Amino acid sequence: MRILVTGASGLLGLNISLEAAKEHTVFGVVNTQPLQGDGFTVIQSDLLFPGEVERIFKAARPDWVIHCAALANLEACEHNPTLARKLNAELPGMIATAARKMGARLAHISTDAVFDGKKGNYTETDAPNPLSVYARTKLSGERAVADAYPQAIIARVNLFGWSISGKRSLAEFFFNNLQAGKTVMGFTDVFVNPLLANDLGEVLLSMLAENLHGLYHVGSQESLSKYEFGVKIAEKFGFDPALIRPTFLSKAGLEASRSPNLSLCVDKLIHSLTASTPKLSTDLDRFYKLYQQGYPRKIRIMSET
């Protein structure tokens, strides 16, 4: 298959590109981040430039498209809601339109943050109630994709993994600070069920291969607090878990509103997908194994152009 991945220098996009390139021809679109592709072709492009989406599709001629590109920093979205709207709400509709016209299968990446987090264990039929500019624009993006291309996959996700900067995921936050012996805070009242970006990529590829469509919650089968997640990272790498101080979200002083319980029910995915979905314990094992194999250094080198 020929696969087009947008946001290919980001946490999810890069790891998806690397996983997909093992068996497919991959074209990874990046914006400002220079990148040397390892097994896949890098296309540098501003997808918001008029006519650019159509040009990229004509050049790549994809069978499958995985749209990861977004303004994902919550504070950045609060400071620049116009850019957030363009990237998170309008661009997904443009990508979906182009994919439909070309007859390419599409997986659009959304977020668990579309919910207000008051109850948790959200199903695909629960009504969203986004609290931040980021969450509101991502929900608008979902709707734009659904309107433009009803056969697309819309995947609400939560993820962790190794990134180019080494600072993009919660797991890296805990790893970096604990390795340096620094004390960090861990929220005891914020719950998620994240997947390792590499495994999430494999799940998305399986969903495309099995011709799924519609809205899916894509996460690990177990949910836990961010504090508990930090403790698991500490234990996996042999760091001191006592360096993680339990605290509450209300004491963090964050500008953008966060939802407390964003655990997702993944039963629909489990019942729809032939392949089994990963568990958090195995994802943490793989995260540690990737570190042992020098994977973080490998992907950092890709940006050293």
Whole-number pLDDT of residue 258: 72
CATH annotation of 2-169+192-223+263-284: 3.40.50.720
Whole-number pLDDT of residue 19: 96
**How do the domains of the chain map onto residue ranges?**
2-169+192-223+263-284
Cα–Cα distance between 12 and 7 in angstroms, integer?
Answer: 8
pTM (2 d.p.):
0.94
Whole-number pLDDT of residue 255: 58
Whole-number pLDDT of residue 232: 96
In terms of DSSP H, where are the helices of the chain? 11-20, 52-60, 74-79, 81-84, 91-102, 133-148, 170-179, 197-209, 226-237, 267-272, 280-292, 295-301
Whole-number pLDDT of residue 231: 97
3-state secondary structure of 43: strand
Contact 140, 273 (CB under 8 A): no
Whole-number pLDDT of residue 34: 82
Map tokens 């850019």 to a residue: 83
Whole-number pLDDT of residue 260: 85
Using 50 as the pLDDT threshold, list the residues of the chain that sit under it: none
The token pair at 259 is 């939802």
Whole-number pLDDT of residue 257: 65
